[in-house]
């Protein structure tokens, strides 16, 4: 879709801190992170939400979601990790291209499901992307 920011990222029209890519799945750092290491996993094909994404697409996403969570955990040692996927504006979905969040957590962070977007420090995001890529490589990428 020409107006979808995630489709533009996949097409290389908008830069990203890419972490992983295969023929059908793309993972990159969230530039409005909840915490260090917050990353996203999306299908390359455009599906607005989980309801419209075919089962075979979801089946290809989930192993990458697990792999990214393990890489973030190995790279950054957060106190915990949430995996989140929102559908619809009321659920906090702000980009209508199905995506999964890997959300590193800190004890006592009192994070809410619908957190406010605050631009992150791009140098810090880049450094965390490097750490996660290294963890992916160590995992046999």
d(CA 19, CA 71): 10
Residue 103: closest CA among 25, 17, 18, 40: 40
Tokens of 123: 């140098």
Catalytic annotation, pick one of 35, 38, 97, 99: 99
Beta carbons of 102 and 37 less than 8 angstroms apart: yes
Number of H helices, E strands in the chain: 3, 5
Whether 38 is a known active-site residue: answer no
Calculate the dihedral angle through the C-alpha atoms of 87, 26, 54, 97, rounding to the nearest 10 degrees.
Answer: 30
- Give catalytic residues, as residue numbers: 99
């Amino acid at each position: 879709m020409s107006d979808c920011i995630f489709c533009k990222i996949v097409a290389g029209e908008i830069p990203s801190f890419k972490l992983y890519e295969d023929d059908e799945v793309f993972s990159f750092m969230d530039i409005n992170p909840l915490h260090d290491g917050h990353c996203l996993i999306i299908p390359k094909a455009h599906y607005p939400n989980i309801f419209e994404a075919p089962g075979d697409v979801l089946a290809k996403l989930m192993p990458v979601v697990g792999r990214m969570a393990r890489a973030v955990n190995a790279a950054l040692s957060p106190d915990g990790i949430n995996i989140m996927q929102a559908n619809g504006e009321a659920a906090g979905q702000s980009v209508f291209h199905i995506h999964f969040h890997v959300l590193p957590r800190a004890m006592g962070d009192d994070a809410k499901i619908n957190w406010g977007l605050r631009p992150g420090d791009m140098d810090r995001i880049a450094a965390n992307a490097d750490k996660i890529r290294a963890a992916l490589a160590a995992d046999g990428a």
